[in-house]
Structure 1
């Protein structure tokens, strides 16, 4: 690959492949460069440090979920309670698929997430903001009881942690998990109802 064809996005794709193959402890910038057919200096021109590269990969991975959820948050064709349930379901399914479809990469990201707490904190802020927007709309439309939307959004996020926090990933394979999720979602929506 020529240095001109090397883009940050291509580097991040190659980094994911290298992380999947070697794991976070053994993957190096040299491995990424080798996979791209360039020198490690070419990679460093786009990402100044190994830590910056790992942070960018983590951010990209988390952002995929945020983008999908934003479509639900910004949609107006359904009332807020329907959108909230769909948002919670989509978040759970996204996290469950990440854990089940590519367990090696999920395990790698679990390590990277611990290293990049600032990236994770920003991801959580984005998710809670989306929840707040849905709840605010529901309060305005009198579909949800009057409440402080920011407080309610954080409470909903915390109450559903079992279905999106990677620490609970082993539970997501249990045969009862869908029923457990439905029960919690029902409880949350009843608690918000006007």
Structure 2
């Protein structure tokens, strides 16, 4: 019997461990309950279905990245151009690290992406929202221009232009020897297009 209070956070941490051990197709709520030393009914009191539990653990995993990126967005000591470059590089490095170091959780994310999960949609909206803030900062500094595009549309365009470096469908390419140079080239091109001309 478990002696610690069963919380959603404890369940999510145990679920990550179970997913790493068994993978998304074989991990069960019973496995999570066993790892916690509780009945599966106790887990279901916090998460009504296996799908809800899987979505919650994926959200927790994705939120770690968006939290780190948020620090870059809010770094007012850096220019918008510097923040945009660092934000994209950090996103790429975080996704690549997760694909390599945490393949079972990454596989769960890929399953959810294929299911067109609300969790993944929220994650993408959060990322585009952060890019929107960076572009708005560049407009306020007078260093960026978006032509006739509005800021959210511009942010989505930047997100789409760098998709090869953060969408899991491209994960196999993230280990290629020139991938960092290729990301730098895309960012140079994007930033060149955003800069106000003298």
TM-score by length of structure 2 reads 0.93
Alpha-carbon distance in structure 2 between the residues aligned to 1:11 and 1:127: 26
| CA positional deviation for 1:146 | 4.5
User: 1:129: which partner in 2?
Assistant: 129
Alpha-carbon distance in structure 2 between the residues aligned to 1:68 and 1:80: 17
**Number of equivalences:** 194
| CA positional deviation for 1:3 | 6.8
Candidates 158, 161, 186, aligned match of 1:159: 161
SS at match of 1:5: coil
CA deviation profile, 1:23-67 (whole Å, cap 9, x unmatched): 111111111000110011111111111111111011111111111
Change (3 A) 1:59 1:42: same
CA deviation profile, 1:141-161 (whole Å, cap 9, x unmatched): 111025421111000000000
TM-score by length of structure 1 reads 0.95
1:7 has 2:13 as partner: no
Deviates more, 1:162-171 or 1:146-155: 146-155
CA deviation profile, 1:55-87 (whole Å, cap 9, x unmatched): 101111111111111111111011100111010
Bigger fraction of residues in helix: 1
Give structure 1 regions of 4+ aligned residues with deviation exceeding 4 angstroms.
none
CA-based RMSD: 1.4
| CA positional deviation for 1:104 | 2.9
Alpha-carbon distance in structure 1 between the residues aligned to 2:28 and 2:56: 15
8 Å CA contact 1:58–1:113 kept in 2: the answer is: no
Alpha-carbon distance in structure 1 between the residues aligned to 2:101 and 2:118: 26
